[in-house]
A = this chain, B = another copy of it.
Amino acid sequence: MAARGIRPRNVTIKDVAREAGVSYSTVSRVLNNYRYINPDKRQRVLDAVSHLGYVANLQARGLVGGRSRVVGLLIPDLNAQYAGQIIQGIDEELAFAEHELMLQTTHRHKNKETLFVNAVTRGMIDGLLLLLPHELESYLDVLHERQFPYVVIDHQGFDDFSPTVGVDNWHGAYAATTYLIGLGHRRIGFIAGRTDTSSAAERLAAYNAALQEAGIAFDHDLVRPGDYNQQRGNVAANSLLNLSQPPTAIFAANDQSALGVYEAVRSRGLRIPQDISVIGFDDAPLAIHVHPALTTVRQPLIEVGRNAARLLLKYVEQPDRPLERVTLPTELIIRDSCQPPMQMPTA
């Protein structure tokens, strides 16, 4: 068989075996930490390995053993700050477990989800992490049916069989709303998140609950659609500000949207927090950079990533282990974007 390409031939397990004077299955055993091996031979193999600079071929190992030590991450895109932190957590945990990460953005797989899942589940990766991919549902059934290990990140309550890791959106949003109410606000605008995410639904539900608990009547006009990006946040804020009775505070379902609120407020010559209070959700890196610094709800994103990776690896180890779901706490971070309303609302 002709040499493939110009590169020097890779050193394989056979080379190591020859060098160490053992059979190559012994080499394999040493490499896989098989217990009962003659210490001398083990040492000889180890020496040969380092001498030759041998590194296992992952493809071959994956092909036969069924494990590639690679996990996939399905994600819409890398734009959100949000993703970076979660990935960092995933990476940390994966490094610890000596696995690699394969990135798969979904925007590029528009019309071939099934095909894609096929590809994904075939060979290259041992498990899949799903971070808010669009069309989530189209993957879940296939994945579950095939018992392919996966974990859904930040999207709880979608079904009742998928392992998930997420944060306590409800209590975070409840704390934020309650904080605003405690400051004296009665008209609190809400800019919702991406409707296909459970986080958005939970945050809205908590907002409603807090209002109701405080005896504040629900006002449909105060809740605006959004989708977690700045542009839509800006539009929503403007429509809120255009109300004949505008809110004295706005709770944006994420920091990105809150940025849109900042824009809208500033463009009208109003001031935060004097004229209007703003609160976000995420505690993205930008939250502390904007002026005034944004009061927001912190999500432990790195921890989310770590937990997701850890949980996934457990499922890779044992595909039929019982359903496990992790919910991490959120925390209200008070900074400078909120204060009591100027004129108390007339009841």
Knowing that A53-B114, A79-B285, A262-B291 are A-B contacts, what are 19 other residue pairs whose CB atoms are under 8 Å apart, sorted by A's residue number?
Answer: A4-B65, A5-B66, A7-B146, A7-B319, A55-B118, A58-B119, A58-B124, A59-B60, A59-B123, A60-B123, A78-B85, A79-B88, A87-B103, A91-B103, A91-B105, A95-B105, A101-B104, A102-B102, A290-B290
Q: Which residues of B contact A182 (CB under 8 A)?
A: none
Least Cβ–Cβ distance between A242 and chain B, in angstroms: 22
Q: How far is the CA of A146 from the CA of B5 in the complex (A)?
A: 11
Could you tell me if B108 and A95 are in contact, using CB atoms closer than 8 angstroms? yes
> How far does the alpha carbon of A186 sit from the alpha carbon of B138 in the complex, in Å?
61
Query: Contacts A103-B103, A290-B291 given: A63-B66 contact, CB under 8 Å?
Result: no
Give Cα distance in the complex from A100 to B105, angstroms.
10
Q: Is A147 an interface residue (CB 8 A)?
A: yes
Give chain B residues whose Cβ lies under 8 Å from the Cβ of A92. 108
Contact (A63, B59) CB under 8 Å given A6-B320, A84-B84, A319-B5? yes
Whether a CB of chain B sits under 8 angstroms from the CB of A289 is yes
A124 touches B100 (CB 8 A): yes
Q: For A62, list chain B residues within 8 Å (CB).
A: 59
Q: Contact string, A97-137, partner B, CB cutoff 8 A, digits 1/0?
A: 00011111100100000110011001110000000000000
A77 at the interface (CB under 8 A from B): yes
Residue contacts A-B, CB under 8 angstroms, 7 given: A6-B319, A59-B62, A70-B102, A78-B85, A79-B285, A262-B291, A290-B291
Do the beta carbons of A7 and B148 come within 8 Å of each other? yes
Q: What chain B residues lie within 8 Å of A215 (beta carbons)?
A: none
**Which residues between 217 and 250 of chain A lie within 8 Å of chain B, taking CB atoms?**
230
Give the distance in Å from the alpha carbon of A269 to the alpha carbon of B71 in the complex: 50
**A8 close to chain B: CB less than 8 A:** yes
Find the B residue at minimum CB distance from A53: B118
In the complex the two chains form, what is the Cα distance from A90 to B291 in whole Å? 33
The distance in angstroms between the C-alpha atoms of A147 and B10, with both chains bound, is 13
Give residues of chain A (36-71) contacting chain B, Cβ–Cβ below 8 Å.
53, 55-60, 62-63, 65-66, 68, 70
> Considering only CB atoms, which chain B residue lies closest to A79 in the complex?
B84
Give which listed residue, B58, B105, B291, contacts A123 with CB less than 8 A.
B58
Collect the chain B residues with CB atoms within 8 Å of residue A8's CB: 146
Q: Find chain B residues with CB under 8 A from A146 CB.
A: 7-8
Q: Residues of B contacting A23 with CB < 8 Å?
A: none
CA distance A68 to B230 in the complex (A): 39
Shortest C-beta distance, A32 to chain B (Å), equals 16
Chain B residues near A291 (CB-CB < 8 A): 262, 266, 290-291
